[in-house]
Amino acid sequence: MKTVESRAEVYLMALQSLSRAEREAVIGRLLEDPQLREDILDLATIQQRQGEPSRPFREYLAERKERAHKA
C-alpha cells in the first residue's frame, strides 16, 4: 500500500470511529474552507459520474468548432 493510501486509510478509520455528531462537525469544518469544499465537491462529482461514457477532449473541441461554423 502506498503512503498516501495508508495515510488516507488512517484518517478514514478515525473519522468512522467518531459519533455522528462528531463526524458532522469535522465534515462541516472541512466544508467551511472554500478550497477544501471545492475539492470535496469535485471528488464527489467524479465518483458519481465514473460509470458514464466519456470521449476524448479533442473530439469535443472538434464538434464544438464544427457547430460554431454552422451557426
pLDDT one-digit tens code per residue, 11-60? 999 999 999 999 999 999 999 999 999 999 999 999 999 999 999 999 99
Domain spans in the chain, listed from the N-terminal domain onward: 3-70
Buried b or exposed e, range 39-59, using 16+ CB within 10 angstroms: eeeeeeeeeeeeeeeeeeeee
Cα three-residue angle 64-65-71, rounded to 5 degrees: 90
- What is the tens place of the pLDDT at every residue in 58-69? 999 999 999 998
pTM of the model: 0.63
